Amino acid sequence: MTNLESGAFYNGTYRNLFEELGYSEEEIAARLEDTWNELFYGDQDVRIYYPMGDDKGYLLDTGNLDVRSEGMSYGMMMAVQMDKQEEFNRLWYYAKTFMQHTDGRYKDYFAWHCKPDGTRLSQGPAPDGEEFFAMALFFASNRWGDGPEPYNYAEQARRILRACVHQGEDGEGDPMWDPATKLIKFVPESSFSDPSYHLPHFYELFALYADEQDRPFWKEAAAASRAYLHKACHPVTGLSAEYANYDGSPADIQPHGDFRHFFSDAYRTAANIALDWEWFRKDPWQVEQSNRIQSFFSDKEVSDYRRYTIDGQPFEEPALHPIGLLATNAMASLAADGAYARQFVRQLWDTPLRSGERRYYDNCLYFFSLMALSGKYRIY
């Protein structure tokens, strides 16, 4: 085993950064379980999960009062990591029933948002949902075993990935990965990407679990995404745009807004890079990148987080999800070895979940960070 192949995938060892700071195993475990309970069964101004009938449930985007493929797949990943099969199955059955297309140009993709009652608000998919659905389903298969359809988790995951790679080969629809560059698209019809969608650590596992014919593709996609992130992240600040072209440059202004800057979507990029380092440790640049972004935010109060150009110029506009940004800055400590790694971990520990209208996105990122930093965001 080389030094670079010392990630958790190879040795099964996951760092517990809270324990490294002196917190006990008991209080870390209690913090995780308490946070899960707050998010799924807590007070109305904190919870984001809602059971539906006898067999379904959903995560609510509390800022927009809709249900998103992003949130549903995030909730499934949280549930499988926390060994909560009932909630996992409820989320999956809701997504399968109301969101997944059964025919047409989006067959096997998921409508990206709908009303809580399951009525679709848009037919189009958003690829960050599909990749999280697939990974959560594979982990569920490996952790709990497969059941009868639709709880035959591994086959459901392979079906999603099959569409992601091959959609459109029969003349209808588009794949979610650009065939030429092997880079994930913003939406299937687009010709640009979203840096925060790039999950090379997932693609490495898809290369083990997906249809055998597609496994070489996923290995190539992992390498392509790692290389892409070098170009999409600013070499001084470490910031990335929300949407970026296949060459890494910020994408043009879109009809639905200006996404050339470091704002809500982009926060996830730092967390994804750090988790890839924790699991696979294949790219030493990820350490430097994590140090850069922590250095940029080291002198900024959470209450003063803003929208930034990727070279670091602040706008007057405050961050819409400051707790989410703190969470991803802290999660960067999985890879960072600079002066601020411990600072951000302690700061996250000392910060409660967000409450109120905009809590959904912040608290999803918060819980992923809490799991990762406690060594509980694992490969199954």
Active site residues: 70, 265
* Number of other residues whose CB lies within 10 A of the CB of residue 207: 17
- How many residues can be counted in the chain? 380
How many CB atoms neighbour CB 233 within 10 A? 28
Tokens 């099964």 found at: 12
- What span, in angstroms and rounded, lies between the C-alpha atoms of 65 and 124? 18
Cα distance between residue 127 and residue 6, in whole Å? 30
**Distance between CA atoms of 110 and 101, rounded to whole angstroms?**
6
Cβ neighbours, 10 Å, residue 2: 8
CA gap 313, 239 in Å, rounded: 11
* Cα torsion angle, 276, 280, 283, 289, sign: positive
DSSP 121: E
In single-letter form, the type of residue at position 347 comes to Q
Q: Per DSSP, what are the bridge partners of residue 59?
A: 49
**What is the rounded distance in angstroms from the CA atom of residue 148 to the CA atom of residue 222?**
31
CB 125 within 8 A of CB 111: yes
Q: What is d(CA 93, CA 156) in angstroms, rounded to the nearest whole number? A: 12
Compute φ and ψ for 298, nearest 5 degrees. Answer: -65, -30
SS3 annotation, 249-283: CECCCECCECCCCECHHHHHHHHHHHHHHHHCCCC
- Longest CA–CA span in the chain (Å) reads 58
Element containing residue 306 per DSSP (H, E): strand 306-308
- 104 phi, psi to nearest 5 deg: 85, -165
